[in-house]
Structures are given as C-alpha cells and as structure tokens.
Amino acid sequence: MGLDELPSVDEVLRTAPGQALLGRAPRPVVVAAVRAELEALRSALRAGTSMSPVVDPRRLEARVAERLRPSLRRVINATGVVLHTNLGRAPLHPTAATRVAEVAAGYSTLEYRPDERRRGSRHDHVAALLCELTGAEASCVVNNNAAGVLLALQALAPADHRAVVVSRGELVEIGGSFRMPDVMVAAGVVLAEIGTTNKTRASDYEAALRRPDVGLVIKVHRSNFVQRGFVDEVSFGEVAALARAAGVACIADVGSGLLERSSAPHLGAEPAVRDVVAAGYDLVTFSGDKLLGGPQAGLVVGRAGAVARARQHPLMRALRPDKLQLAALEATLQLVRDHGAAALPVHAMLSADLATLRARAEALRIRLCECFPDLAVQLVEVRSAVGGGALPEVELPSLALALGRAGLSPDDLDHALRRADPPVIGRIAEGRYLLDVRTLLVDDTMEIVRAVRGALDTRE
C-alpha cells in the first residue's frame, strides 16, 4: 500500500465506524486521534516497518478508540505477582472501593465534625483503628512510606544533634531509585553509619550512641533483599532497647505493613508492625498498599508525643493524604478489625492453596476451550511472587494456563491481549504465554474470554 492510498481524516469520519467514534468523544478530540493514527501509518510506510498498515475501517476504529481511552485504567493482572508495583499494588476490597466512590462523589467530613460544629483533623478518621490494630498510642497518615520516613526524621531529629545512627547493611534502595541515604540527606540529618555491609553488632550501636552529635536511631527492614552467609544484625527489639538506655529517640521503618504475624504465617519471618511497636520505638512507619492490603499511604504510629510532633511539623502539609486515600484506608482497616486480614484480596491471593487455584484454573480452561476450539490451553505449574519489594525469598506455588494457537506466537498473544480493554497482562516463560490464576479476581473470567476473542479475531 502506498501513501496516496491512505484515507483522509474526513473520509474516515464519514464511515460507520467513524460516526461511532464521534459518538464517543467531542469532534475535535476524535479528529486529533484519527489524524495521529493516520500519521503513525504514514510513518510506518515511510520507514518500511509495516508490511500492510491497517486501514480497514473496523480496525482503524479500534486503534483510534484506543487513543481515546483514559491513560489510567483497570487492567487484569495475570502475571502471578500479587503486589505488582507497576499495576498499582494491592487491589482494594469492594467495600473500600465503594467507600471511595461515595466520598469522591460529593462533599465529606474530611476536616469537619458536624455534630460539634467545628473543624476536625483528617488524621482522626483512622487514628483509633490504627492504634487498635498496632497497639500504638497515636498515629498519623501521609501519602506513602517514603514520606513517612522523611517526616519521622524531620520531626524527631533534634536541631542540635542531627546525626542519625543507621546500620550500613540497612542503607537500602527500593524500586524507583528510592534510596534510604538520599531520604536521610533530604531530611537534613547526618548519617552516622555503623557496622559493615554484612555485620552490625550491638557494640556498634553502643559506640555510636556515645557520640555527642547523635540524636536519633533508625532501624530499617530490608524488605526487598536478604543477606546470607557471614552476616549478623541487631534485632528490632535490641535496637530499641539500646536507644532507650542511651536516652535517644528511635524510628523503625517496617516497610511492608504486615500488622500481625498470626494473620500470615505462610509469609515467613516478616516483621509485624504490632511487634515492632511493642518493642518501644518512638515512631514506626509502614506502607498501606503492600501487606496491609489497602491504598497507597504512609502510616506513622508510635508514642503520643512523637506522633504529635510529626502531625505538627510544617512538612505535614505537603505530605498529608487526601480524602480518597483516607476513605479507602478507613474501610480497609475496618475490614481487618472486623473480619481479619484474610478478608482482603491481597491476603486471599497470598494464602490461596493449590486446590483452590486448580479449581479456578480448570474452570477458566474449560471456558476458553468451549469458546475457542482451535486454541490450545494447557494447565501448568508455576511459581508466583509476593512483589511490591516484599518477601523476596517467598515463592508461592501456583498454576497458570499456557495459551497457544498455530500461527500465533507467544509475543503475538501478549501484544494482542495487552491491547484489549481492559488490558490482560500475562507473562512469557520458557517460550509459552502464561496466565497465572493466583492474581485473577472473581470477575476477570469474562474479560479474559472477551480479550482472547479479540486477540484471535485480529489474526483471522
């Protein structure tokens, strides 16, 4: 096909599919999308990268419609990574999602107490719940855990004693180039590094705590990697005890947000927030959208005086959560209090056994085979991951469906399913396209069937 054979924008809009596009969005928006798609086809022809640009009206409509979709939208996670950071980490419980919608649709009691006719604090909506679930005296919320660490350092490091003791083995980097040393420098404190990469002892803390410029200790959970071999570290409880004995404030960054160990015995030795709080830290920070199973948030709990300093710090204004985060967080915490963590989608996925996953996979396999007789669907054993920078050594045995059809490569399937609405995100392993059922939600089956139908239709 030559450049002169491509239709004009007006010609596209006069077709039935073009008229359908005009029913989806204002004409200027549709015109811009059609023009962009036609220009992409021209570029493909000039570069010789396209054997036959798609100009069939129905296919052109689909490609333009894709340009008109919102950028941030729902996807189906079939990767097997439960807390997939790129896909938004923890899916909310339907109750929490409903609460968000209710609060978003109108005005709210974000900072108002209607029964008392006075202003309230946004932190109070979840304060009692957080204290009940963690055993802390007080709490506040910021927009993510990095913000929580930053605020804790700023609030508790004395103006004349800005050195903060931290083990060299805990100067971690989390995804997205979040580095603990950088956060500490941004907080205006001085790193008082102790120990070595692989060994930090109690005596290292004791020696550092004798320095006149030290005003704070921080203990950081290495959530996304482990050390093996010739290693040694000081436990959360020991660090808190050493700091208290020296009369120095202490902070713990627990990160992943597992509230109680008893709620997830299958997750190994992940530190529980309640245990760390009980050890006596002034402030403990953790994430809301990892093992807690809620929205993105940084939760700061601990002693009443320390939390008050964090709440009153000028930085809080820049880091505070909005009404949607708080609505989702309050609903999530209420679910944990009333029904336990197992009620949340994240923990249901993490704890699902092979029998449960096999039944789910077999039901989806049968449905796909009934709908697409020429599609090969095979049940295979795989390993899932927790994800989200948590529990790097925990591998979860899982089951996946390997899809295949003559003339359709795994890359072809992957590409087509990612272009579905909603996109289906699987993975390719050992030359096969896989849908891991561990991370599928209850309502995903029909969407997957629809997406596979679209993928196969584009190859007819």
pLDDT single digits (tens) 23-65? 889 999 999 999 998 888 888 777 775 545 556 666 777 788 8
Q: Which of 306, 293, 376, 311 has the alpha carbon at shortest distance from 124? A: 311
pLDDT of residue 409: 93
Average pLDDT for runs of 10 along the chain of length 460: 73 87 91 90 73 61 85 95 94 97 97 94 96 98 95 93 94 79 90 95 96 95 83 95 97 92 70 95 96 96 98 96 97 96 94 95 96 95 89 88 93 93 94 96 93 79
Asked if residue 422 has a cis previous peptide bond (ω within 30° of 0), the answer is: yes
Rg (CA), the chain: 26
Please provide residue 90's backbone torsions phi and psi, each rounded to the nearest 5 degrees: -70, 125
Measured on CA atoms in the order 188, 193, 197, 202, is the torsion positive or negative?
negative
Domains recognised in the chain with CATH numbers: 3-68 (no CATH), 76-88+348-457 (3.90.1150.110), 94-341 (3.40.640.10)
DSSP 424: E
Q: Which element (helix H / strand E) includes 211? A: none
pLDDT of residue 443: 87
CA dist., res. 39 & res. 1, Å (int): 15
pLDDT of residue 460: 53
State the Cα angle at 218 between 189 and 285, rounded to 5°.
Answer: 105
pLDDT of residue 393: 77
Place of tokens 């709080």: 277
Measured on CA atoms in the order 355, 360, 363, 368, is the torsion positive or negative?
negative
Place of tokens 């923890």: 90
**Could you tell me the CA-to-CA distances from 172 to 86, 166, 179, 225, 292 in Å, in that order?**
20, 11, 6, 9, 21
pLDDT of residue 56: 66
Quick: pLDDT tens for 150-162.
Answer: 999 999 999 888 8
pTM of the shown model: 0.90
